[in-house]
């Protein structure tokens, strides 16, 4: 995978050339009519019974190929301009969580109510960069990220004031890793019904994991100041307990105290190279890198746009060679930047010497 980028005192620009990236699946344009398309680009979260999600513009369409054409669906029609009402029975479980910097809903849906396919791994809507859909926003918040996962009958949405709380990351990681939270099943979930039917004739002693995942009411709500709940690293519905602070960066990936975002890059490439040398999994490297960039974007909000662009591109990395090339390019850019600074310093020193003489 060959790519290039230039750094100009912030971090990197949005100039990338990705020959090996997987392109979005081509699709026919959706006919724009009053029933299947709306110009509205807004979602909102008020409670577990009052929120909106983006969905494909027509029933039966795959999620990812139509991310830029998503339309809002809410509990009530026209809750945001042009929104449609969720199909009856579409939302089966919704868990509401709010703290001082973000609000989120995590839960389950019935894909059949919108004719979504069982083999559709889903897609991600967000307002990083140009946004998906273009120009999309979440009412009352600066950022949002939401995923629809028909194959698992799962959805999630988070609206944030800070970009670090709404990481786009790798959409392949799905809700459980991008938006940690309460993913316990409710009694109306398809999976919960199947599990109940499959175990109705056999009594199985509960395990610790089973006790953590007891079905709850269809909707739950909590408001607190530390609700970045469990981060998933394994089974879809098993969530490990980690705090917000622990999730900010990897144990050995610390963002250094620097004057500008660009100056943190040498530390980042050392971490990447060390992980490569130690045969750390590519998923873990990707997770550490994403958390590093999220923390960096929080420290340097003026550079967050470029940082997010870099994160979006490197999210496609799936080979060790991709990371090795990133390390090489950052080293080259760092060297070039240092060479550019040296003549300036020499000129300044000469001017001072001339003035002194």
DSSP 195-227: HHHHTTT------HHHHHT----SEEEEE-S--
From CA 340, how far away is CA 344, in angstroms rounded?
A: 7
Q: What is the pLDDT of residue 244?
A: 33
Do 166 and 79 lie in a common domain?
Answer: yes
Q: What is the per-residue DSSP string for 2-24?
A: ------SSSS--S----SSSPPP
List all residues 6 or more positions away from 193 whose beta carbon is below 8 Å from its beta carbon: none
Best CA proximity match to 303, nearest among 6, 13, 3: 13
- Give kind and range of the element (H or E) at residue 297: helix 282-299
For residue 274, how far is the Cα from the chain centroid? 25
Do 143 and 186 lie in a common domain?
Answer: yes
Do 189 and 233 lie in a common domain?
Answer: yes
Do 233 and 254 lie in a common domain?
Answer: no
Helix/strand/coil for 52? strand
**Is there a domain that residue 30 lies in?**
no
Considering 191, 212, 240, which residue would you say is the last residue of a domain?
240
Q: What is the pLDDT of residue 37?
A: 45
Do 313 and 179 lie in a common domain?
Answer: no
Q: What is the pLDDT of residue 315?
A: 79
Domain count along the chain: 2
3-state helix, strand, coil in the chain (%, to 5): 35, 15, 45
For residue 54, how far is the Cα from the chain centroid? 15
Do 170 and 285 lie in a common domain?
Answer: no
Please count the residues of the chain.
357
**Is there a domain that residue 214 lies in?**
yes
Q: What is the pLDDT of residue 334?
A: 64
**Is there a domain that residue 31 lies in?**
no
Q: What is the pLDDT of residue 205?
A: 41
Do 282 and 329 lie in a common domain?
Answer: yes
**Is there a domain that residue 172 lies in?**
yes
Do 208 and 95 lie in a common domain?
Answer: yes
Query: Residue 180 sits in which domain range?
Result: 41-240
**Is there a domain that residue 352 lies in?**
no
Angle at 54 between CA 49 and CA 57, to 5 degrees: 130
**Is there a domain that residue 288 lies in?**
yes
Q: What is the pLDDT of residue 330?
A: 81
Do 6 and 82 lie in a common domain?
Answer: no
Do 142 and 204 lie in a common domain?
Answer: yes
Q: What is the pLDDT of residue 150?
A: 96
From CA 30, how far away is CA 27, in angstroms rounded?
A: 9
Mean pLDDT, 10 residues at a time, over the chain (357 residues)?
A: 39 34 43 47 94 96 93 91 93 96 96 96 88 90 95 96 84 85 84 47 38 43 48 36 36 76 84 89 84 80 79 82 87 63 52 53
**Is there a domain that residue 294 lies in?**
yes
Considering 240, 261, 290, which residue would you say is the last residue of a domain?
240
Do 121 and 196 lie in a common domain?
Answer: yes
**Is there a domain that residue 357 lies in?**
no
Do 95 and 167 lie in a common domain?
Answer: yes
From CA 75, how far away is CA 48, in angstroms rounded?
A: 10
Helix/strand/coil for 327? helix
Considering 182, 216, 240, which residue would you say is the last residue of a domain?
240
């Amino acid at each position: 995978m060959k790519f290039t980028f230039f750094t100009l005192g912030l971090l990197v620009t949005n100039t990338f050339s990705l020959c090996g990236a997987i392109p979005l699946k081509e699709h026919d344009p959706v006919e724009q009519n009053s029933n299947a398309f709306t110009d509205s680009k807004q979602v909102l979260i008020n409670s577990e019974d009052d929120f909106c999600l983006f969905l494909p513009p027509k029933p039966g369409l795959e999620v990812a190929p139509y991310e830029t054409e998503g339309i809002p669906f809410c509990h009530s029609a026209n809750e945001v301009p042009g929104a449609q009402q969720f199909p009856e029975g579409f939302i089966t479980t919704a868990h509401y969580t709010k703290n001082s910097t973000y609000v989120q809903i995590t839960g389950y849906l019935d894909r059949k109510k919108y004719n979504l396919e069982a083999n559709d791994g889903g897609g991600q809507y967000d307002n990083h960069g140009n946004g998906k859909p273009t120009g999309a926003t979440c009412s009352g918040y600066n950022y949002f990220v939401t995923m629809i996962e028909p194959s698992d009958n799962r959805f999630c949405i988070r609206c944030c004031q800070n970009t670090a709380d709404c990481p786009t990351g790798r959409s392949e990681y799905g809700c459980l890793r991008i938006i940690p939270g309460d993913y316990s099943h409710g009694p109306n979930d398809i999976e919960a019904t199947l599990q109940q039917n499959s175990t109705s004739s056999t009594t199985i002693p509960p395990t610790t994991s089973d006790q953590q995942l007891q079905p709850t009411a269809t909707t739950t709500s909590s408001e607190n100041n530390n609700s970045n709940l469990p981060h998933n690293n394994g089974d879809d519905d098993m969530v490990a307990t980690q705090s917000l602070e622990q999730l900010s960066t990897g144990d050995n990936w610390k963002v250094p105290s620097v004057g500008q975002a660009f100056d943190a890059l040498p530390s980042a490439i050392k971490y990447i190279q060390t992980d490569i040398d130690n045969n750390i999994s590519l998923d873990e490297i990707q997770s550490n890198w994403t958390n590093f960039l999220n923390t960096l974007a929080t420290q340097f909000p003026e550079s967050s746009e470029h940082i997010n662009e870099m994160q979006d591109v490197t999210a496609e990395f799936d080979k060790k060679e991709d990371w090795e090339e990133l390390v090489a390019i950052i080293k080259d850019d760092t060297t070039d930047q240092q060479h550019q600074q040296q003549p300036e310093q020499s000129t300044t020193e000469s001017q001072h010497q001339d003035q002194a003489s």
